[in-house]
Amino acid sequence: MLRVGLTGGIGAGKSEVSRRFAALGAVVIDADTAAREVVEPGTPGLDRIAAAFGPKVLRPDGSLDRARLAAIVFADGAARARLNAIVHPLVHERMRAAEAAAVRAGGDGLVVVHDVPLLAEGGEQRAAGFDLVIVVDAPPDVQAERLAGQRMMTQEQALARMAAQASREARLAVADIVIDNSGTLADLDRRVAEVWADLRARADG
């Protein structure tokens, strides 16, 4: 089995790459999906968030009001650290369980891709938990343009989200492989195909 960490700044196109790897045969374990699951109503994760940030972050039906929580944590580094301390251990546990299930089902030769938006924020120690790390990269102006066009963010909102993540330099510092996604989708397809051939060779070897 080859364990791959996949990351990239918001708007860089990591999700596009993740979908392509899944279509090619990788087992993709998505940290964002795990993060949603561990704060569903009735979970200890949601209870801890409500205790830390107050009932204002809950909707009338008891589910998490993600927009309200995001407005709080992206404006306050201490609040963001408090949220991460609650959610990250639960997400890691959920992803480890998903990987173990994939190994039981798939046997040898698997390429397991952990799609982790904040991998670089954990530094070299977090990156060392994988056989290799792939970073999807795009220039900051391209990231901001995509966030405005695809997620309808204002320039201010886009820059705030980008500033809340690790710098481009910090992400590239933990990369074993870089996928440049500053071009067209056809360019991306070609680069992903090249990287996938490399991953398959490593897994089979």
How many other CB atoms sit within 10 Å of the CB of residue 150? 9
Neighbour-count burial of 175, counting CB atoms closer than 10 A to its CB (0-12 exposed, 13-18 middle, 19+ buried): buried
pLDDT at 4 > cutoff 80: yes
Contacts of 59 (CB under 8 A, 6+ apart): 65
**Model pTM?**
0.83
Mean pLDDT for all residues in the chain? 91
Angle in degrees, CA 19, 88, 98, rounded to 5: 50
pLDDT reported for residue 125? 63
Residue 97 has pLDDT above 90, yes or no: yes
Out of 85-99, 103-117, 134-148, pick the least confident: 103-117
User: Measured between alpha carbons, how far is 57 from 50 in angstroms, rounded to an integer?
Assistant: 7
Parallel/antiparallel/unpaired status of strands 111-115 and 27-30: parallel
Domains of the chain: 2-204 (3.40.50.300)
Q: 20-50 pLDDT, tens per residue?
A: 999 999 999 999 999 999 999 999 999 999 9
Question: Mean of the pLDDT values across residues 149-160?
Answer: 83
pLDDT category of residue 154 using cuts at 50, 70 and 90: confident
Give the span between the Cα atoms of 204 and 180, in whole angstroms: 25
Query: Distance between alpha carbon 133 and the CA centroid of its chain, in Å?
Result: 12
Closest Cα to residue 1, out of 92, 103, 95, 98? 103
Give the pLDDT of residue 117: 87
Show contacts of 61-70: CB within 8 Å, 24+ apart. 64/39
